[in-house]
Structure 1
Amino acid sequence: MAKRKASGVNMHTKAMPPVVFLGPSAPAPDILAILPDATIRPPARRGDLYAYRILKHEIFLILDGAFGGVLAISPREVVDIVADGAVVVGASSMGALRAADCSPAGVHGVGVISRLFRTRRISSEDEVAVQYHEEQPFPPLTEPLINVRFALRRAYRKGLIATSEAEKMIAAARSLHFTQRSWSRIFKEAECHLSLEIINFLRDVDVKRADAVRAARHVARICSSTSSLPSSSAFHLFGLLDDGRERRGIDLIEDANRQQIETEFVEWLWLSGRARKLLGEDIGGPQKGLPTPLSAAWNIIDASGELEAELMRFDVFKRAIAEAKRCRLRPDPGDIREAEEQLAGVYGVGSWKELLTGEPRDADRSRRLKEHRNQVATIKCLRRRFLFPSDQSDRSREDLRWHFG
């Protein structure tokens, strides 16, 4: 019998080629130049990872994913195949989102966009959404908001545009639906008249494409070097795979006891800021003062089709806290500071202090926010210590609030 490494990659038989889910983020030749044997597939849909894992593929690069009229790839599916021993790398678009969602389970997030989602500097799918033709090779028809942000940032740094112009164009871009977002519309809505040289400079910035190339290189290193692979402990850190493929916890709605978890789950939605995105509401108090009653909030999220994904995020959050306690980890001041910055950014305020002293003024609210901050900081410590030991660059990152607000 061939000996198999714990990471799940067979070193004694010819491995199946990596599967790359690619759409408008980058042209296929960019990826094939780095991964010539890769299996290039259209943007990932619900069930695609399961299907290719069954075919014994072991390495997956998710760049783009379908959404809207079809079921998007779920965090549960990503975690399942990682727990099954596969390696998943995410970047650029849907891949960056799922890497941020599932990083505690061992998913590799690569590139600037993934880092921004992971640190909650950005949190909306609108940042990376574009309109594209459904037939290959998926050329983008609109401009992703994240490219607009970076293009304006670089132009500002080079002295090509003023801060006021950049802010007007960002506001215009954010006001446009992703299917209508283009540089021409942005210039028109912002009433900015730029030279052809500056316009060409802005159009040439493509962060999603650059991240896709970085991610392909990361996958190439994984394919060529066993030292790049995560250890088996990273795959099984939260007990996501037990004997007999038994799923534990509250990750499936049909296995969850709604009465037992409803209060804690919905309160987590408000404390984490996810209620802002899902319900359009800010935090009130714990239970009392919540803008939407607990059961109504659950039903609204269920009707939106996002309940399974949110339950999975909540499940991973709770498991991460439990694992950190088991390992007796304590966040350092840097972890606390990052957690405070993350929560302030989620709520759209300038600082942690402003969040604590904002309305409604309630001592219990402040206490719960501090408790949640400590939990977020503890997870950051866990991730840093066990999953991203070499990723220390975030500590010294520059302040991006003016264009990532």
Structure 2
Amino acid sequence: MLIDGVYHQAPALRHKEILAAMGRGVGVIGAASIGALRAAELAPYGMLGVGSVYAAYASGEINGDDEVAVGQAPDGEFGALTWPLVNLRHVLQMAVPAGVIDAERAARLLAALRAVYYPQRTWAAVRAVCRSQGEAEFVGWLTEQRERDRNFGDLKRADAIDAVRAALNGAAVTSESPTLPPGWETAYFRRWSNAAVRERVDGLELFTEDRVVYQQVFDPAFHDRWAAYLERLSLHPFDGGPGMALAERLVQACGGDLPADRVFRPVLDLRDERTVALLLAGETASDRQAVARYADARVRSCRSRPGFSVAAVRDEVARSFLLRVWRCPEREFDEEASARGLACGARAIQATKRLVPGFLEETKRKGVAGVR
């Protein structure tokens, strides 16, 4: 069930994350806030929307994420400090039949409240805007209602409660099976999902992507592993297409004049256990320990250098690192990267920046040109 989530200072929940869950047969309910927005967007694919906010998004009555956005304290507390537009619209709609305000003035007041940036739309700001618009009576009425019931007009809260009830009643389980769009597992999705795959091995919690990249860089036999992976993928494609021997596929693609790694450059799916087992066939216990040390080195770099990130590693530093480890002439850099499944030199540089802080630490400590 998806109700609310953090955004602005962090990436909002991606559609692909929800599709990934539904693709595994998980029923997903959305309501109240970003849950309602995502449910309206993904309803054609099986996500179940609940509540008034969802209905407004689904009908097109509202369409912006600012409708449900609220400001929160920066210390980790999740209580709302501001009023979302959906709640303000709701209390104005209740005030009209109560004779507190007419429809025309309510629409004008809502427009004025919408003009206040959402993190600044506090209760004090709401009162100030209402008074500046000559709507003191509405402020008095709303204050009185809130004194009687602190949750008065909280449409998001009401929808969240309805969603919990729906989940307890098995609504997501009994809803129609998701109908995911063809090809939804794109290369972008695989890159995103790869970053989350991890496993506990030898008592170490390691990201699988770190382990694979380490082998691509340091394993001198990785050329053979990548060739074997391309052969297996050709015989058993991820997309369910017809299998074909790699040599035959090469002939069809380019007449067989180029090596397979220069023609086929698939995006790995590190959720696939057979793929991971094949690519890590040469991994040793000491390799895994090195991966853990390199991950720790990244953390230390981030802590000791404010603003540091892997992306901040200079391209020329990563390139020099790879040339030292591979011991290949610079003119063969692209070919070496391709043979190791890194597509080309430019992509190899980006992929291996994660290893640079750890490699430099070990090189400095041991005083050697390369470490395995």
TM-score of the superposition, structure 1-length normalised? 0.42
Structure with greater Cα Rg: 2
Name the structure with the higher helix share. 2
